A and B are shown apart, each in its own frame.
Chain A
């Protein structure tokens, strides 16, 4: 069994080489004739001195001259005088050998530690990839997505099976949207825990250029060591460090990019209006022809610069980096610039027994423009809506030199909206972390990690006298100022003992963790100013606040989290692997009786390829079966949820005893029994590597069940105080499969092609939504909202069913009058005028069934090409754009050209309504990132170690039947996934050029 297999693999390998060689021979056979001297030799592994069959050997500079070693590691080759051989083999470090005048060349190839001994970052430590027993994905720097990268998540986009990453907004200020293994919480945080070198942070905490690796703890057995913050998975970001003993290097890289809207909606033009007027349609012609979308868009040019340096010696070293990024958006006056600086200092003493680390990260993000990035999509989205609906025969500026405004229901000049409001914000963060690592004896070390993260944001916004808030609302200029500050402390103390005794290898980890965070905020606004020149810098000059018409607010809260944790790993003969961990964690956000929770995990692994009965498969292949179980938790999002507390609320005040008094009201329905949401997850998988890891990957099956789901339960009033109550009720389930496959079909000295596939599928189900106390409640809740003038919910989440289903009147056609025909609850076709809310039905689902990624990296000589593609299948999108703008009924607003296209032979003549016609198939395949680079040959320029230039395109092409802007420009988290909203910052296509140099 074994012989034929390994031979086949060897033959396959050789066949590739021969095929490549023949191809080259046919084109450049003249060169091959230049060979004039025969040499022979043998190649063995430096590790065990065993012969290596199938090693590729070529002559440097003469790529057509080459061979491969035979089954005994031997080779023969004719080479020109003074040649240098290049030997390469998967899993080993390539080596160059000068032939000189020898006729026999024997070479020992060193195993590539990176591949076989690759280290993966896990919670509170690292583990060899081969020892991992749970589902962990690890992406190293050289495998990152290149070009314009928004944040840390985009570096690994499409490379981690089960981790879905999209860019739903084109705003330069917005982040990627990420989700791991389905929707797992209703009211708690569903986002992954992101740790930057062990300290909680965000996807933007460090610049993408400053990241060494991204590791994702996917399953419960891996994540459980992080207890209550880990249900959404854990993303461990490791920054670049000076790992060498005396590396002294400076690296500089930059890029410049331009963007265009991903797909432009086709609207009626001024000429179309005049044509329609001739046809007798009641439009108003103001005589012009304005492309309103172009009027609110700009041609953005963005750039990014990064400087990193490494220095020091074997005992003291440092890494420093500065990153500056200035991004513009496609809408007028939208953009952001960001400065991130990082210093990482290491010092070791007493023969490495004591190691210290100090890390500082400082970042400043400034936004200025028209509106706040916090509600980017809303504010720019509203201008976008106005640009779409505005009469294309109208003008931007009227005869009097002022903005041409018109009265109308939600009808404002979009260009004035963006030009007459101002905004500025600065976010500052300082992160300080220090650690002491003390190893009193071999195999034992203690580590103390202390960090403090402080960030603050100060922002101001204003509108001028020419803004519609003054023109229409007589507000005489408006202004606001908001600020908040966060202070977060972390202390972690860990001890780790690891020992190898014969065949037994084990490690024990124990630790304590404390985290607290204090949040404070203040906000004020005012209007009715004597002048609009102050912006937000003289709030007191306005009149409204003094009259009680404007607002002022402040708040503060604090939470604490304490945890004790331990982990044991054991490996027998590198074959049988075991891991167990437990975390006991308490949070101040829960009632006294339920503060503490225990989160255990265990997993086992079996490297079946090392078994005797598998024969010698192990020599070239590695197969590991593994299975694990783990429990993680989720905290309530908001503070004070378990408190019995009251508020003085002006909104609930009344006119009592001849004057207005505030109301003294309970803050919520009290629930001191509030407790953890707990997720139990089973994971089984296999990691494999064949042909010396030339084909490798993993397959994972998981089943996760979230119990004690935190839910804002609808309760009857009376007996309860308010109509909903925050309680633990219900169970949510997600099951799925993830497949990762990396193949290196071609690997020669000059030509290398890596290709990787990821596939994931997830099935979600809300199992129950009740507990002992509340069994009689609704078995569903509604989610999503159309906005006026339709004003209905869009989704319904029902017990026993998956999240993400639309709940809608199912349209089956259009009648003679141009009105929708819908299917009622009894299955009969009725006119929409007779439809009642009871006739709504489930229709489609906004969460994809299948997520696929396909990444390719090709290197030929000094050229490299990366092509990243991904797709999602088996889902639906509610196309708001079509629902609002593909209906010709309302002549006061502009619309899409296709509004007059007949449906069932009839042009629509009915009010805007939410029917299933607007729910489209969302399936798509996206050629997302294509990067083409050229690396200068080494030593081309003296002093320059490395230089590379590249061009890159992002979001290049989408193959889809979906008619909206971008099938990926939609939400997929939350409870109304698949909503392609009307007001949005449309996604963009980006073209980038950049360079990087290393000195």
Chain B
């Protein structure tokens, strides 16, 4: 009997243990994420919900091998040659320069991914608004318009770079997207921007870093300026119309000093229409200084981070500048660099660059447009001005010039030049005759001693002088590739170690990885 008692006691003990654990309760408790099923966003969350639409633009623009590199390294002003630290990265920079990239080139893929990240986020938020998941009472129309304008902006980047991309607007449609033609993408972007305009904010002061009406109009002007490239049909009049609307609004002016547009406090600029804001804490990713400077420059500012060093100016491009043009010094870091602490020269940047595969640390002028604040970290505070008032004036000038109104165009170009020739105002003036000239750029292949072989020059470029003006004003602003294409230079001229590779390099390839993921995509011609 005693044994029996023990048996029951033990069994009771065993059973008592079991209920401590709820036998099969496998609900996952979520602690450090916000559950979709239990979290109801309110109107105060609206900025946070909209933010990711813009945040991907930061890495898109100035991220590692991002859009900036894509626009500049494929063009004739900036190169990333191999430095003595051996930074060749499997020849990726050489391929950018020589237009020998393939569908596996990372830079175009990066631009594609980041642009579609914004597009998808817009579609997601739009769908949430439509479903009433986001209770927006007052700002609904304006929010929708802004989101559509940002989506159009991302599509503009794809239109310009990849051309034939899928247009996706329905977040809930999970079918693999179909490809659209460049013409269809063009029409889509124009339609979206035009339809958004009425509901976009006209307040320039409260919408810094966001798409407002003027940003949308400037973007439209830019798209119309390139319409011939995109569709075969020029739209000069429409470009002038949109530019005029921005000019007449009186919301923007040229900043007194060229450098004010690019310095680390440039959120105060009255010239910037659409910026991609950066911040060394909240919005990191402006690494222009890290990529361009040699490590020895660290003590000059001084900086909290060691730069990688880096890209630099093509000597032939530097040779086009007028010596009196203050934009030369405002754009490029040149000559001896002194330590902030000791005053000793730590490095001297020279104009000459022997070639893509052979340099010293001193070779080439460095990008200095985005002023480096003392104690800068690896991420600059300087916002990236994507659209600014000078753009509006120059777009209008070019459209006028191309429609036979050279004199009016010259006035606008002169207006932009004036702050660059404060010490020599006479030189600021450009005439209609000037604008009829070719380019000063000494196109041709550069030998290692700096001499130009296989010389082509720039005399034969129609309105080449305006192309030069665009180069001086917008150097290192990710403009150059588009401008070279519009002026017919991109696929015809030689510069530095670049020879024309193919007539079909104006569009980047559809990234192979994207084709692999979506069989609906066909490769662009020439790849």
Contact = CB atoms under 8 A, between A and B. Distances in A.
Interface of A: 350, 353-354, 407-411, 436, 438, 440, 446, 448, 450, 472-475, 489, 491, 493, 512, 514, 516, 547-549, 554-560, 562, 586-589, 595, 639-640, 642-658, 660-667, 670, 714-723, 776-779, 788-792, 832-838, 887, 889-892, 911-914
Contact of B309 (A409, A448, A776, A913): A409
Interface string B417-431: 000000000000000
A643 B90 contact: no
B232 interface: no
Nearest to A644: B36
B89 A660 contact: no
Given A350-B3, A595-B26, 8 more contacts: A407-B346, A474-B303, A512-B18, A640-B28, A646-B35, A664-B51, A718-B123, A838-B102
Given A436-B13, A662-B48, A778 B517 contact: yes
A651 B17 CA distance: 46
Nearest to B521: A716
Given A473-B305, A654-B54, A723-B113, A791 B89 contact: yes
Contacts of A651: 55, 284
B279 interface: yes
Contacts of A779: 516
A146 B202 CA distance: 80
B41 interface: yes
A790 B90 contact: yes
B277 A654 contact: yes
Given A474-B302, A646-B36, A716-B518, A450 B17 contact: yes
A892 B85 contact: yes
A692 B117 CA distance: 70
A548 B35 CA distance: 27
B200 interface: no
A645 B30 contact: yes
A792 B89 contact: yes
Nearest to A664: B48
Interface residues of B, number: 105
B403 to A, nearest CB: 38
B95 interface: yes
Interface stretch (B173-181, B215-223, B439-447): B173-181
Given A473-B306, A655-B283, A838-B102, A911 B23 contact: no
Given A588-B26, A719-B174, A913-B90, A660 B123 contact: no
A889 B283 CA distance: 38
Contacts of A554: 32
B405 to A, nearest CB: 38
Interface stretch (B70-78, B205-213, B319-327): B205-213
B517 A555 contact: no
A19 B110 CA distance: 76
B336 interface: no
Which of A557, A717, A887 has the most B CB atoms < 10 Å from its CB? A717
A548 B282 contact: yes
Contact of A514 (B23, B41, B514): B23
Given A514-B23, A911-B357, A663 B123 contact: no
Contacts of B24: 562, 586
B91 A474 contact: no
B120 interface: yes
A557 B13 CA distance: 31
A547 B377 CA distance: 13
B177 A716 contact: yes
Interface string B281-318: 11110000000001110110011111011000000000
B146 to A, nearest CB: 10
Given A409-B309, A557-B31, A660 B282 contact: yes
A407 B377 CA distance: 17
Interface in B43-96: 45, 47-56, 82-92, 94-95
Contact of A789 (B45, B88, B120): B88
Nearest to A648: B48
Contacts of B168: 718-719
Contacts of A670: 36
Contact of A658 (B18, B33, B206): B206
Which of B21, B176, B303, B305 has the most A CB atoms < 10 Å from its CB? B21
What are the 7 closest A-B residue pairs judged by CB atoms, nearest first?
Answer: A660-B282, A654-B54, A789-B87, A911-B88, A556-B31, A645-B33, A654-B51
B6 interface: yes
B10 interface: yes
B199 to A, nearest CB: 17
B306 A409 contact: yes
A472 B298 contact: yes
A717 B100 contact: no
A776 B518 contact: yes
A654 B283 contact: yes
Nearest to B84: A892
Which of A512, A595, A719, A836 has the most B CB atoms < 10 Å from its CB? A719
Contacts of B56: 652
Nearest to B297: A407
B1 interface: no
Contacts of B283: 653-655, 660
Contacts of A548: 281-282
Contacts of A516: 21
A792 B106 CA distance: 11
Contacts of A719: 120, 168, 171, 173-177
Contacts of A595: 26
Given A407-B296, A718-B116, A776-B176, A833 B33 contact: no
A688 to B, nearest CB: 43
A653 B282 contact: yes
A891 B360 CA distance: 11
A589 B26 CA distance: 8
Contacts of B95: 836
Contacts of B455: none
A777 B302 contact: no
Nearest to A775: B519
B416 interface: no
A643 B33 CA distance: 9
B14 interface: yes
Contacts of A586: 24, 26
B120 A718 contact: yes
B191 interface: no
Contacts of A639: 28
A655 B86 contact: no
A450 B21 CA distance: 11
Given A436-B14, A644-B37, A717-B117, A660 B279 contact: yes
B17 A717 contact: no
Contacts of B7: 438, 440
A789 B14 CA distance: 63
Contact of A653 (B55, B92, B175): B55
A722 B121 CA distance: 9
16 contacts: A353-B3, A409-B309, A436-B14, A448-B13, A474-B303, A493-B18, A512-B23, A556-B31, A654-B51, A663-B55, A716-B518, A721-B120, A722-B117, A889-B86, A892-B84, A892-B85
Nearest to A472: B306
Contacts of A642: 28
A353 B119 CA distance: 71
Contacts of A792: 89-90
A708 B112 CA distance: 30
B55 A654 contact: yes
A723 B112 CA distance: 11
A438 B10 contact: yes
A438 B27 CA distance: 33
Contacts of B17: 448, 450, 491, 493
A717 B116 contact: yes
B6 A353 contact: yes
A663 B51 CA distance: 5
Nearest to B113: A723
B84 A587 contact: no
A407 B517 CA distance: 45
